[in-house]
Amino acid sequence: MEFLVRTENLLPHDTPEEVRDQLKKGERERAMELREAGILKRLWRVPGRNATVGLYEAEDPAALHDALTSLPMWKWMDITVEALATHPQER
């Protein structure tokens, strides 16, 4: 099933550049793995914000939760999830 996932990155502004870079790098790598696993299907930026909208696919909400918490930035992200139903036009 598919989910619409919104994230806001709340990493404190005074995080050392080094730590921030390492987190960003880890974030990109883990995102790439989630893409390859077919879990992260699309990702957009919310213009003007350190925030994203993503389209995910996972077996169920628990599997999605595990995918999202595997992101190194998870701890600092405010995330909201919306479960989507397949539309008859696309069945």
Binds a second copy by CB under 8 A, chosen from 36, 60, 70, 73: 60
Binds a second copy by CB under 8 A, chosen from 30, 57, 65, 73: 65
Residues in contact with a second copy, shown as a per-residue x/- string from 70 to 89 under the rule CB under 8 A: -----xx-xxxxxxxxxxxx
Please, what's the b/e burial string for 48-73 (b: 16 or more CB within 10 A of its CB; e: otherwise)?
eeebbebebbbeeeeebeebbeebbb
Which positions from 5 through 34 interact with a second copy, judged by CB under 8 A?
A: 5, 13, 28, 31-32
Count of residues of this chain found to bind a second copy when the rule CB under 8 A is applied: 42
Calculate the CA dihedral of residues 15, 16, 18, 20 and round it to 10 degrees: 10
